[in-house]
A = this chain, B = another copy of it.
Amino acid sequence: MTRAVEGGHRSVNMGPPRSFGTVLKLKLKETLFPDDPFRQIRKEPLGRRSIQTLQYFVPMLEWLPNYSFNLFMYDLLAGITIASLAIPQGISYANLASLPPIIGLYSSFVPPLIYAIFGSSKHLAVGTVAACSLLIGETIGEKASATTQTELYVSLVFTTCFISGLLQSALGLLRLGVLVDFMSHSTITGFMGGTALLIILQQMKGMLGMKHFTHKTGVVNVIQAIFKYKNEWNWKCALIGVVFLVFLQLTRFVKKKNPKLFYISAMGPMVVVVAGCLLAYFGNATKLGISTVGPLKKGINALSVNRLNFDPAYISAPLKAGIITGVIALVEGIAIGRSFALASNTNVDGNKEMVAYGFMNIIGSMTSCYLTTGPFSKTAVNVMAGCRSQMANVVQSVCMLLVLLFLAPLFSYTPQVALSAIIISAMLGLIKYKKAYHLYKTDKFDFLICMSAFFGVSFISMDMGLLISVGLALVRALLYMARPATCKLGNIPESNLYRDVEQYPGATGIPGFLIVQIGSPIYFASAPYVTERVMRWVREEQELANDNDLEYVLLEMGGVTAIDSTGMEALIELRRNLQNKGMKMILVNPRIDVMEKLIVAKFIEKIGEDAVFLSAEDAIEACRFTLRNSKQGTVEV
């Protein structure tokens, strides 16, 4: 491909196309390995290469040898901080999932250890998440009752975790991280907000000390249930709950005003738990009518491999919950890991992280844990507490081990109302109304996508809300693909630049020429539209031009980065149509992929190499030259 530039002559590259193998390799690389993880490794000699490859797959082998006591001091503090958050969160979210609370503590013991071995993010703190806990509780609750069929219920939840882990590992190993990118931020904002609203409403049971409630989620159902059992409202309970909630919100406010005091907010939930336990113990909870969490026995996670339940009668629920929560957990974890990594100028391989999450959940499901990921709140606390590496997760694990071995029974006095207050406080922060308003101002379709997730989750169901929102986002993208942007270009005066006349009304047209810029790849979905739209530009131009005959139609193809066979047929049809009207089609700045296809399809032969130019200016100059000569009688080809 060396004919491109010869001296002062700027011509379009007509060289032979790259081989299919080259192109395929390039495209596969961009799709599957966009961050080129093996770049460093490739340069090293063979011996080091094997070590580095092993380090690639087991990141702990990379950072551990370089670990120092100094770093450990930071990680120790961060680890203890997140462990203090893990205890109340673990018990609360296990409650959300209708699981025995001890499982919430188990889930902050084993998974962080696994992540520390296989995970790459130095900032991520592993733990359970509210949204997924609720979804699991709701989905498995359709097949088995958490209260009357506890053993079946718990085994199905472990199975769900196993399936999530399997899915995550598979996606990561097959380098299908690109699928996770299809979850728009607007969808996530709306989904999280809707889920937060549902959870807050459900906590009314705990806050008001009610005995009966509804199993359904959905705003309408829950509000109905709250008022149906009005007689069960316990004022003492509500008062305690409000006090706890106000306290927690105050700690958050303090942190917002002075970020350095973040630990006050981080310690808040633990304080509430301890205060609640003391209140329940000394204040005689049952007399007050306040229910507590229930027994938490000492001892570490039991193996639960035998409890995994693949019985076809029930398997549909774990499958559905496993797939949806697996993807949601990935999306949240990857997004958070990425943004902290970018902020600290490091890089995180999304696909590798997915494998780490997968292992975390597979092994977790075999050790009495349920779904974990890297929740934003915990990770943010981890970062602010000064974590330096994955060791913070190890510290968290060890703290949790100590709790499980010695302190667990103490927490059995935790009142439900305390947990409800903690959950409500956490969820209030997830309803991002400011962000939704910002979306409304900047991009109304995205606002629609966000709201569809929010209302879908709140009023229909969590999976329907997610489906509708993702569907809308895809529809937007597909519609854009089917209706690519085209615009007419005009000359910016006193320059050789050609820009969109709608954006730059001062840009002038050239008599006899119409320059249309096509802004996207011409694929099957947009091919018929492109042809018709260009012809419409031609018709409109002819109406404007009156006497001036249109001789040349220039297609600026800088934005057409790809074309398929249907698109090629459209170009051929367009050229034929223009010829019928007595106009010549000129291509300007075709891209490499498109040029290769046009050459192979012999389109360049038909149109002539003299009809393809590097820039609009070159094209117009050359065509004017031809026009002038033909008018003077000499025929220039």
Contacts and interface: CB of A to CB of B under 8 A. Distances in A.
B443 A597 contact: yes
A493 B6 CA distance: 9
Interface in A1-33: 1-2, 4-5, 7-8, 10, 13, 20, 27, 30-31
Contacts of A559: 519-520, 558-559, 561
Contact of A485 (B492, B593, B601): B593
Contact of A8 (B494, B507, B576, B580): B494
A525 B182 contact: yes
B181 A507 contact: no
A506 interface: yes
Contacts of A614: 492, 497, 499
Interface stretch (A219-227, A246-254, A336-344, A628-636): A336-344
Contact of A524 (B441, B473, B503, B528): B473
Given A343-B576, A347-B535, A485 B520 contact: no
Interface stretch (A134-142, A202-210, A363-371, A563-571): A563-571
Given A525-B182, A600-B442, A561 B485 contact: yes
B566 A503 contact: no
Nearest to A18: B502
A281 B520 CA distance: 63
A177 to B, nearest CB: 9
A232 interface: no
Contacts of A576: 342-343
Interface in A591-617: 591-593, 595, 597, 600-601, 614-615
Contacts of A496: 496
A175 to B, nearest CB: 12
Contact of A562 (B441, B485, B495): B485
A32 to B, nearest CB: 10
Interface residues of A, number: 103
28 contacts: A4-B503, A5-B492, A5-B504, A10-B492, A20-B444, A31-B479, A34-B533, A35-B536, A178-B479, A178-B483, A181-B524, A184-B524, A185-B565, A186-B564, A186-B565, A187-B524, A345-B580, A442-B600, A442-B601, A477-B523, A480-B521, A496-B496, A500-B591, A502-B592, A503-B591, A519-B561, A520-B521, A520-B561
A315 interface: no
B600 A441 contact: yes
A529 interface: yes
Nearest to A531: B342
A565 B500 contact: no
A573 interface: yes
Contacts of A476: 523, 564
A478 interface: yes
B1 A505 contact: yes
Contacts of A178: 479, 482-483, 529
Contacts of A241: none
A527 interface: yes
Nearest to A527: B181
A591 B4 contact: no
A633 B501 CA distance: 40
Contact of A442 (B8, B182, B483, B568): B568
Nearest to A599: B442
A335 to B, nearest CB: 8
A482 B181 contact: yes
Given A5-B504, A478-B474, A564-B446, A345 B581 contact: yes
A316 interface: no
A439 B565 contact: yes
Contacts of A497: 10, 614-615
Nearest to A580: B345
Contacts of A8: 494
| Residue from A496, A507, A565 whose CB has the most chain B CB atoms within 10 Å | A565
A445 interface: yes
A140 B438 CA distance: 52
A181 B525 contact: yes
Given A342-B531, A559-B559, A565-B446, A182 B503 contact: no
A251 to B, nearest CB: 28
B500 A592 contact: yes
Contacts of A615: 497
Given A342-B531, A499-B614, 6 more contacts: A182-B478, A442-B568, A442-B600, A445-B564, A503-B591, A519-B591
Nearest to A597: B442
Contacts of A80: none
A599 to B, nearest CB: 10
A598 to B, nearest CB: 9
A566 to B, nearest CB: 4
A311 interface: no
Nearest to A335: B528
A614 B524 CA distance: 32
* Across the A-B interface, the 3 shortest Cβ-Cβ residue pairs: A184-B524, A5-B506, A485-B561
Contacts of A267: none
A36 interface: yes
A361 interface: no
A526 interface: yes
A112 interface: no
A589 interface: yes
B34 A182 contact: no
B505 A4 contact: yes
Contacts of A342: 531, 535, 573, 576-577
Contact of A183 (B480, B523, B524): B524
Contacts of A499: 589, 614
A119 interface: no
Interface in A348-364: 350
Greatest chain B CB density within 10 A among A5, A494, A507, A593 is at A5
